[in-house]
């Protein structure tokens, strides 16, 4: 009855003895790892067992990552490391593996499908990092993404610049045309910014009327060119509310990362204080980046 219960458990269960030989693989684990009954019989060495799973193509890992992963899993089971790890499968599912040391010196390795939990957590994190009105990154999302570029800059001196642009007189638009018009102005500017930035740029709305874009592999002149083009495009892409043209423009400025800055917020502050005149670029022909 015990063997039957284990074989019908919802979790994948693998029992390893004190000599690191696999003594039992239940039906769920055999299905999960695409293993045959023959591969699981005869008490195979645990390292060979892991290699068989890798050979079956279950792990979503590159070839050069497999050897390190197999060694890590072997060490975790051998030492009885109870730290849960999450394993990504080629079919997109996520499996949480946990090692439980047994009094006999053996190990029980349980495998639980946590794909739904991971998916919900990922969606929640994405929602927490997005501005609800524009769906752009919010301040929190920008800080997470910008920190990656900052670390690249510190480690590899990979250049990047930041442009900040504000919607001019948004409070007046809200007052004269209504808050719905103000929301539409914000959405309109975000749409223009999406169109003018590259897929590699990090674009975010960080305040009511304030946006920021981080441009990897871009110097100050390139950032200024983008700032000019954004101002020009907003000025020449009119917004109408109930048939009335809303006077809409942005003020943009830029700064380039260098070793004098302690962090990304300092670069954002420098971009804001760069002092480009209100409406800069509005009377220029469309600048080329």
- Distance between CA 287 and CA 289 in Å, rounded? 6
Would you say 143 and 247 are in contact if contact means Cβ atoms under 8 Å apart?
no
Structure tokens of 50? 């892991």
* Number of residues that this document lists for the chain: 289
Q: Strands, DSSP E only, in the chain?
A: 12-16, 22-25, 85-88, 94-101, 107-113, 160-167, 202-205, 210-216, 239-241, 244-246, 250-256
pLDDT at residue 277 in the model: 40
pLDDT at residue 215 in the model: 95
φ, ψ for residue 203, nearest 5 deg: -110, 135
Q: What is the pLDDT along the chain (289 residues), one digit of tens a residue?
A: 888 888 889 899 999 999 999 999 999 999 988 889 889 989 999 988 988 888 888 888 777 777 788 888 889 999 999 999 888 888 888 999 999 999 999 999 999 998 888 777 666 666 678 998 999 999 999 999 999 999 989 988 999 999 999 999 999 999 999 999 999 999 999 999 999 999 999 999 999 999 999 999 999 999 999 999 999 999 999 899 888 899 899 999 999 999 999 999 999 999 998 854 434 443 334 444 4
């Amino acid at each position: 009855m015990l063997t039957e219960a284990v074989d019908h458990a919802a979790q994948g269960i693998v029992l390893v003895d004190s000599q690191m030989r696999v003594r039992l693989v239940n039906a769920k684990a055999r299905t999960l790892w695409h293993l045959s009954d023959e591969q699981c019989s005869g008490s195979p060495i645990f390292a060979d067992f892991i290699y068989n799973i890798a050979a079956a193509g279950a792990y979503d890992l590159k070839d050069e990552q497999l050897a390190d992963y197999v060694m890590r899993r072997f060490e975790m089971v051998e030492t009885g490391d109870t730290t849960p790890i999450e394993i990504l499968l080629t079919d997109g599912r996520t499996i949480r593996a946990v090692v439980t040391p047994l009094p006999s010196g053996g190990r029980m390795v349980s495998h639980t499908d946590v794909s739904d939990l991971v998916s919900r957590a990922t969606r929640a994190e994405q929602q927490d990092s997005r501005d609800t009105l524009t769906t752009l990154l919010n301040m929190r999302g920008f800080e997470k993404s910008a920190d990656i570029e900052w670390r690249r800059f510190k480690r590899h001196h990979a250049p990047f610049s930041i442009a900040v642009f504000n919607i001019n007189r948004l409070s007046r638009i809200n007052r004269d045309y209504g808050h719905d018009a103000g929301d539409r102005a914000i959405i309109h500017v975000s749409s223009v910014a999406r169109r003018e930035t590259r897929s590699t740029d990090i674009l975010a709305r960080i305040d009511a009327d304030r946006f920021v874009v981080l441009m990897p592999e871009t110097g100050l002149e390139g950032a200024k060119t983008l700032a000019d083009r954004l101002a020009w495009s907003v000025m020449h892409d009119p917004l109408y509310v109930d048939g009335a043209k809303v006077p809409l423009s942005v003020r943009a400025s830029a700064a380039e990362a260098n070793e004098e800055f302690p962090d990304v917020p300092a670069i954002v502050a420098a971009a804001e204080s760069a002092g480009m005149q209100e409406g800069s670029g509005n009377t220029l022909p469309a600048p080329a980046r």
